[in-house]
Amino acid sequence: MNILLLGGGGREHALAWKLAQSPRCDKLWASPGNPGIAEHAEVVALDLADHAAVTAFCGEHGVDLVVIGPEAPLVDGLADSLRAAGVAVFGPSAAAARLEGSKGFTKALCERAGIPTARFVQCRTLDEAQPALAGFAPPYVLKADGLAAGKGVVIAESRAEAERALVDMFGGQFGEAGSEVVIEEFLTGEEASLFVLTDGKAIVPLGSAQDHKRVGDGDTGPNTGGMGAYSPAPVLTPALTEEALRRIVEPTVRTMREEGMPYSGILYAGLMLTDSGPQLIEYNARFGDPECQVLMMRLESDLAEVMLACAQGRLAEVPAPVMSDDVALTVVVAARGYPGTPVAGGGIELRGAEADGVRVFQAGTRSEGGRLVASGGRVLNVTALGASVGEAHRRAYVALDGIDFADGFCRRDIGAREIRREQGSA
C-alpha cells in the first residue's frame, strides 16, 4: 500500500521508521517531514491546512492510507475532508478530536458517562470564574479550554494567584483557547499514560508510558512538551490498566459512538493514579511526543497493517499488536533556550550513535548544505531498549554522549524514579 504520513517531528520519525519496515508498505511519503524522516520516506511539500491540496495529492499518487501525526490538523478536520474523498485515514474526525481540543467537551462527556475525573466547573466569563474558585481548595487547577500546545494549564498555589491567572486567561494569554476556562479539583498521585487503538468499536491497548514534563533534572523549571519518556510504566499495573480500560476508556469509546461521533485512531489517556483508582486528567487524540518513540521501539507487529485496519473499521479482525517485554527509554536533546526561544542553527554530528536497539529520532532538525542543524526546541530523541529501565537509561546516555551538538542540552535523570524503584526491589 501507499502511505502518506503527515507531521515532521520525533513522533513522526518513529512512525516513519516503523511504517517503512512493513512488508505491506510499497511507498511512503511524508510532509513536511525532516531529514530523519527522509531516510525512510519521500518528503513532499504540502500545506496541511489546504485540505483540497492534500486530498488531490492522495488521488494523484494512489495513497491508500493517510496517517496524521499532530493534533492541529485533526482538530481542523483534515481526517473528515480526506474521508469524504474516500481516502482511508488513521486519526479521528474533528468532532471526535474534541476529546483533545476541548477540555470542557471532555469533562462534560465524563459527567454523562460516569467516568472518574477531577470535579470541575466550566466558566465562560471572568465574572463567572472568580466566585467559582470558592468551591475549590488550593492548589487551584485552571485550564484554558482549547489547544494551547500543552501550555494552557495553570496550577495556582493561592487564591490570589488563581485570580490573577484567570484575569490573564480571559485576557487572551492563550488566544482563543482562553475564551472558556475549566477550574478543577487538584488530584494527587502518580501520572501515567495509557495508549489504545480504536476504530470506534474495538479497543486494543498499545502500552503505557511515563514522561518527564519539566525542563530540569529533579522535575524543576518550566513545563515542556516532554523531555523524555519510558515504556512500559510499571505503576500502571495490569489491574490498574484493566480498571482504566473498564471505567475510563471503554465508556468514552462507547459514548462517542452512541452519540454519533465515533473515535478512530490512537487515544492517549493521561491518568492520575489516585488512592481511589485511576482518574482521567486529559485525553490526546494522537500519539504522545516523545511517548510514541518508546512505543514504536517496543512494537513488534506490523504498524501499517494495524493502522489500516483501524482506519477501515476492521480492528477486531487483525491480530492484536505485540509489544516487546523490553523497556524503551528516550532522552530528548533540546536546543539551549527551550522551552523559551531555542537557539536555531546549531550543528549536529550524530557520529554513529545508533546501534542495535538504539535509535536517534530527529525532532527539530533540518539539512543545511549537507549538514544536519537544529531547527526547533526539541531536536533529537535518543532512544534505547533494555531489559530494565536502568539498562535502557545507560544505553541511551552512552549513545547520547557520543553525539556532538554544542547547542544542545538534556535532562540526565530520565527514568530515575523508576530506576530507584528497580534498585529497591532488586
Only one residue has cell 486567561, namely: 169
297 Rama sector, left if φ>0, alpha if ψ -120 to 50, beta otherwise: alpha
Residue 425 C-alpha cell reads as: 526491589
For 142, residues 6+ apart whose C-beta sits below 8 A from its C-beta are: 153, 154, 155, 156, 162, 165, 166, 169, 181, 182, 183
CB of 154 to ligand AMP, least distance (A): 9
Taking alpha carbons only, the member of 229, 334, 199 closest to residue 14 is 229
One residue of 64, 145, 199, 211 binding ligand GLY per CB under 6 A: 211
Would you say 270 or 346 has its CB closer to ligand AMP?
Answer: 270
Partner in contact with 141, chosen from ligand AMP, ligand GLY, none, beta carbon below 5 to 8 Å by kind: ligand AMP
DSSP 316: G
Q: Given phi > 0 = left and psi -120 to 50 = alpha, else beta, which region is 369?
A: left
Give the integer Cα–Cα distance in Å for 413 and 313: 41
Burial of 344: CB neighbours in 10 Å, binned 0-12, 13-18, 19+: middle
What is the SS3 assignment for 277? Answer: strand
CB of 42 to ligand GLY, least distance (A): 26
Sign of the dihedral defined by the CA atoms of residues 31, 70, 246, 189, in that order: positive
Say which residues have a Cβ less than 8 Å from residue 224's Cβ, sequence separation at least 6: 150, 213, 214, 215, 334, 338, 339, 377, 378
Q: Which does 284 bind (CB under 5 to 8 A by kind): ligand AMP, ligand GLY, none?
A: ligand GLY
Distance CA 365, CA 73 (A): 21
Q: C-alpha grid cell for residue 127?
A: 465574572
Residue type, 57: F
**Among all chains, which residue has been given the C-alpha cell 515504556?**
231
- Give the whole-angstrom CA distance, residue 345 versus residue 143: 34
Strand-pair partners of 4: 29, 66
291 is a contact residue toward ligand GLY (CB under 6 A):
yes
Q: Does 226 bind ligand GLY (CB under 6 A)?
A: yes
If one asks whether residue 225 binds ligand GLY (CB under 6 A), the answer comes out as yes
Q: How far is the CB of 185 from ligand AMP (least distance, A)?
A: 6
The distance of closest approach from Cβ of residue 282 to ligand AMP in the complex, given in angstroms and rounded to an integer, is: 4
- Residue 191 touching ligand AMP (CB under 6 A): yes
Q: Among ligand AMP, ligand GLY, none, what does residue 288 contact (CB within 5–8 Å per kind)?
A: ligand GLY
Q: Identify which range of 35-43, 180-188, 376-384, 411-419 contacts ligand AMP by CB under 6 A.
A: 180-188
284 is an interface residue for ligand GLY by CB under 6 A = yes
Q: Does 169 bind ligand AMP (CB under 6 A)?
A: no
Q: How far is the CB of 266 from ligand AMP (least distance, A)?
A: 16
The residues that bridge with 128 in the sheet, in sequence order, are none
Q: Does 186 bind ligand AMP (CB under 6 A)?
A: yes
Q: Which cell numbers in the block locate residue 173?
A: 494569554
When CB distances to ligand GLY are compared, the closest residue is 226
Q: Does 141 bind ligand AMP (CB under 6 A)?
A: yes
Q: How far is CA 52 from the centre of its chain?
A: 27
CA atoms within 13 A on the CB side of 167: 6
Closest CA to 35 of 379, 420, 412: 379
- Contact between 289 and ligand GLY by CB under 6 A: the answer reads yes
Q: Which does 211 bind (CB under 5 to 8 A by kind): ligand AMP, ligand GLY, none?
A: ligand GLY
Q: Which stretch binds ligand GLY (CB under 6 A): 21-29, 154-162, 288-296, 377-385?
A: 288-296
Stretch that binds ligand GLY, among 88-96, 214-222, 283-291, 392-400 (CB under 6 A): 283-291
**Of the candidates 420, 221, 415, the residue with the CA atom closest to the CA atom of residue 334:** 221
Which region, judged by CB under 6 A, interacts with ligand AMP, from 6-14, 46-54, 181-189, 233-241? 181-189
Binding footprint of ligand AMP, residue count (CB under 6 A)? 12
Three-state DSSP at 46 gives coil
# residues near ligand GLY by CB under 6 A: 8
For position 118 contacting ligand AMP by CB under 6 A, the verdict is yes
Interaction with ligand AMP in 269-308: which residues (CB under 6 A)? 270, 281-282
Binding window for ligand GLY (CB under 6 A); candidates: 173-181, 286-294, 353-361, 381-389: 286-294
Residue 153 binds which one of ligand AMP, ligand GLY, none, with CB within 5 to 8 A depending on kind?
A: ligand AMP
Which of the stretches 50-58, 179-187, 257-265, 309-317 binds ligand AMP when contact is defined by CB under 6 A?
A: 179-187
Hey, which residues does 388 pair with through a beta bridge? none
Distance (Å, whole) CA 32 – CA 7: 6
Q: Where does this chain touch ligand GLY (CB under 6 A) — which range of 61-69, 84-92, 281-289, 314-322?
A: 281-289
Binding site for ligand AMP (CB under 6 A): 118, 141, 143, 150, 153, 184, 186-187, 191, 270, 281-282
Binding site for ligand GLY (CB under 6 A): 150, 211, 225-226, 284, 288-289, 291
